[in-house]
């Protein structure tokens, strides 16, 4: 993604509006996923996504040629989320003492329309995963989303969230362990294992 | 280290499934169409060029200030090694934090906030301690002492006046590049500017008691960093608000 994003960003600051549209199409799905997991509300995530790209547009002169714009765009989304959360002081959903997961509103997984035909491994498991993720403390949730779902390295995730690599590693580890506790760590036979998720766990 | 693909943990399976099914983003809002219809090319940020501009302007400004306020009267009476050595240290205190604040690692947009933060704290402490411990004097040197310590505030004001130029210029060049930790980068700009102020004071002020040199001359770095951390994010964060 990085090479394409670099090229598109350079064309965009050179005045090519289509490059911006392509950059949006390239980055927005993952970024929306990140914002959905952070806000836990599809409507808020949509709104923050638009705000993020408006800020990218306003700050485009800060771009340095040859740099990967994706971590910077994620950082802007991170900040936009925090500013919004401070404004609205969102209620934090926490797991009850009995470790029961909260209900997930229908459609909160918000999967892409063009993926609707892709068979999910287990729709029930996906809903449970979303509920489990949403129950994590904000920093752990962000760490898990960035490193396990969005495929960022720990260093990239730390850069996005404005924290140290060590702190991000701890957050990702604790978040992942909490998820395992909530979802259960039992082995399941499966046909395909996306390598990114497994690789990141090892790092 | 990878797990056998045929045996996935339930958690990994769920995460892999979520990762494989990203949500569909909404269409770009109408606001973008209006903005993109009038899209004009903009110049990209050039960090090394901006650092060179900040350095040149700041040194010219500091040199101009020194020409106006004159060099210290006891200059020829002081140990040359201390004069030059500490002068180089003050200069390094300007160059290093300013460069860290303005120039990101290759391939990155945001500057190195963590390194900038460390250097700001270290240089703030270093110049205070150095001034308290090492402050040679000559027959023409002045002495304020603890009872007249407050009378040395003019040096703090002169040092901060020197710091304004590089800190402000650096903040303008960094507009929009710092979505996170802008206060630490701003502090580095303030500490860098404060060190340049310290260099001007080193060459101008003939007061040679430890409290004044340490707490006022060194204090310019501390106060510069604090004021910059407080005020400069209003400039650097403008496009991201």
ipTM: 0.85
Using CA atoms, how far apart are residues A187 and B20, in angstroms rounded to an integer?
Answer: 20
Q: How confident is the model at residue B216 (pLDDT cuts 50, 70, 90)?
A: very high
Say what the pLDDT of residue B185 is.
96
Q: Indicate if B72 and B142 belong to the same structural domain.
A: yes
Say what the pLDDT of residue B81 is.
94
Say what the pLDDT of residue A120 is.
56
Say what the pLDDT of residue B108 is.
93
Say what the pLDDT of residue A22 is.
93
Q: Indicate if B115 and B232 belong to the same structural domain.
A: yes
Q: Indicate if B29 and B51 belong to the same structural domain.
A: no
Residue whose entry in the numeric block shows the structure tokens 């009850």: A96
Q: Do B104 and A67 touch (CB under 8 A)?
A: yes
What does the pLDDT profile of chain A (203 residues) look like in tens digits? 555 999 999 999 999 999 999 999 999 999 999 999 898 888 899 999 999 999 999 999 999 999 999 999 999 999 999 999 888 765 444 444 444 544 444 344 444 444 444 445 677 777 888 888 888 998 999 999 999 888 899 999 999 999 999 999 999 999 988 888 888 765 544 444 343 433 333 33
B145 neighbors B209 (Cβ within 8 angstroms): yes
For B148-184, the pLDDT digits (tens) are 888 889 999 999 999 999 999 999 999 999 999 999 9
Quick one: average pLDDT of B3-27?
74
DSSP H helices, chain A, are 2-13, 17-39, 42-58, 69-88, 123-135, 138-144, 154-161, 165-183, 195-202
Concatenating the DSSP letter of every residue in B168-207 gives HHHHHHTTTS-SS-HHHHHHHHHHHHHHHHHHHHHHH--B
Q: Indicate if B53 and B91 belong to the same structural domain.
A: yes
Q: How confident is the model at residue B33 (pLDDT cuts 50, 70, 90)?
A: confident
Q: Do A20 and B16 touch (CB under 8 A)?
A: no
> Which residues does chain B have within 8 Å of residue A188's beta carbon, measured at their own beta carbons?
7-10, 13
> Which residues does chain B have within 8 Å of residue A68's beta carbon, measured at their own beta carbons?
107-108
Q: Indicate if B24 and B58 belong to the same structural domain.
A: no
Q: Indicate if B190 and B173 belong to the same structural domain.
A: yes
Q: Which of B101, B116, B233 is nearest to B175 (CA)?
A: B233
- Does the pTM of the predicted model rise above 0.90? no
A29 neighbors B25 (Cβ within 8 angstroms): yes
Of B26, B37, B114, Cβ closest to residue A46:
B26
> Which residues does chain B have within 8 Å of residue A36's beta carbon, measured at their own beta carbons?
23
Q: Do B25 and A29 touch (CB under 8 A)?
A: yes
Q: How confident is the model at residue B129 (pLDDT cuts 50, 70, 90)?
A: very high
**Stretch (H or E) spanning B61:** helix B47-69
Q: Indicate if B129 and B209 belong to the same structural domain.
A: yes
Say what the pLDDT of residue A57 is.
93
Q: Which of B181, B11, B183, B230 is nearest to A158 (CA)?
A: B181
pLDDT of B107 above 80: yes
Residue whose entry in the numeric block shows the structure tokens 């993020």: A52
Say what the pLDDT of residue B190 is.
97
Q: Which two tokens stand for residue A153?
A: 């390295």
Say what the pLDDT of residue A182 is.
84
Q: Indicate if B83 and B199 belong to the same structural domain.
A: yes
pLDDT of B24 above 90: no
Angle at A179 between CA A178 and CA A180, to 5 degrees: 90
Q: Indicate if B23 and B78 belong to the same structural domain.
A: no
Quick one: average pLDDT of B76-102?
95
Most confident of A24-28, B38-42, B73-77, B192-196: B192-196
Q: Indicate if B146 and B205 belong to the same structural domain.
A: yes
Q: Which of B31, B46, B39, B109 is nearest to A20 (CA)?
A: B39
Say what the pLDDT of residue A193 is.
39
Distance from CA of A35 to the nearest CA of B (A): 10
What three-state secondary structure class fits A189? Answer: strand
Q: Which of B9, B17, B16, B6 is nearest to A195 (CA)?
A: B16
Distance from CA of A43 to the nearest CA of B (A): 10
List the single best residue of B3, B13, B171 to mutate versus A (max A Cβ within 10 A).
Answer: B13
Question: Searching chain B, which residue's CA lies closest to the CA of residue A36?
Answer: B23
Give me the domain span that covers residue B19: 4-38
pLDDT of B3 above 50: no
Does the residue B241 lie in any domain?
no
Using CA atoms, how far apart are residues A133 and A33, in angstroms rounded to an integer?
Answer: 12
Residue A127 neighbours by CB under 8 Å, 6+ apart: A104, A109
Does the residue B82 lie in any domain?
yes
How far is residue B156 from each of residues B21, B199, B205, measured CA to CA in Å? 59, 12, 11
Residue B2 exposed, middle or buried by CB count within 10 Å (0-12, 13-18, 19+): exposed
Quick one: average pLDDT of B82-107?
95
Three-state SS across A27-41? HHHHHHHHHHHHHCC
Number of folded domains that form chain B: 2
| Count of CB atoms situated within 10 Å of the CB of B206 | 17
Say what the pLDDT of residue A65 is.
94
Say what the pLDDT of residue B8 is.
62
Q: Indicate if B53 and B31 belong to the same structural domain.
A: no
B24 neighbors A29 (Cβ within 8 angstroms): yes
């Amino acid at each position: 993604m990085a090479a394409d994003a670099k090229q598109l960003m350079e064309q965009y600051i050179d005045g090519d509006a289509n490059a911006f549209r392509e950059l949006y199409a390239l980055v927005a799905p993952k970024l929306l996923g990140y914002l959905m997991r952070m806000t836990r509300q599809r409507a808020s995530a949509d709104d923050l996504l638009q705000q993020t790209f408006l800020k990218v547009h306003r700050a485009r002169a800060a771009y340095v040629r040859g740099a990967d714009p994706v971590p910077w765009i994620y950082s802007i989304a991170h900040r936009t989320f925090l500013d919004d959360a401070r404004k609205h002081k969102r209620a934090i959903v926490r797991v009850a003492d009995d470790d029961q997961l909260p209900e997930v509103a229908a459609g909160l997984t918000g999967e892409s329309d063009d993926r609707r035909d892709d068979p999910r491994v287990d729709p029930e498991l996906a809903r449970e995963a979303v509920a489990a993720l949403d129950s994590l403390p904000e920093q752990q949730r962000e760490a898990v989303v960035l490193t396990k779902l969005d495929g960022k390295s720990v260093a990239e995730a730390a850069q996005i969230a404005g924290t140290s690599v060590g702190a991000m590693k701890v957050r990702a580890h604790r978040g992942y362990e909490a998820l395992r506790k909530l979802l259960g760590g039992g082995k399941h036979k499966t046909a395909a294992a996306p390598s990114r998720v497994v690789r990141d766990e090892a790092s | 280290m990878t797990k056998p693909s045929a045996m996935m943990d339930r958690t990994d399976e769920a995460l892999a499934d979520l990762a494989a099914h990203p949500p569909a983003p909404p269409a770009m809002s109408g606001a973008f169409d209006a903005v993109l219809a009038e899209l004009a090319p903009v110049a990209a940020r050039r960090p090394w060029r901006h650092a060179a501009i900040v350095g040149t302007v700041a040194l010219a400004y500091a040199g101009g200030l020194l020409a106006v306020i004159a060099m210290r009267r006891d200059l020829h009476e002081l140990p040359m090694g201390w004069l030059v050595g500490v002068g180089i240290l003050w200069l390094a205190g300007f160059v290093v934090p300013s460069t860290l604040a303005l120039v990101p690692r290759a391939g990155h947009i945001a500057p190195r906030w963590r390194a900038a933060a460390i250097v700001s704290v270290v240089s703030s402490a270093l110049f205070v301690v150095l001034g308290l411990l090492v402050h040679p004097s000559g027959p023409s040197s002045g002495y304020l002492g603890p009872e007249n310590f407050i009378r040395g505030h003019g040096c703090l004001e002169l040092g901060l006046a020197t710091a304004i130029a590089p800190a402000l210029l650096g903040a303008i060049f960094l507009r929009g590049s710092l979505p996170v930790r802008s206060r630490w980068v701003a502090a580095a700009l303030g500490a860098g500017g404060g060190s340049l102020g310290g260099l001007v004071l080193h060459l101008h002020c003939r007061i040679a008691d430890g409290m004044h040199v340490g707490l006022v001359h060194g204090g310019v770095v501390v106060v510069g960093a604090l004021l910059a951390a407080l005020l400069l994010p209003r400039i650097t964060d403008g496009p991201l608000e």
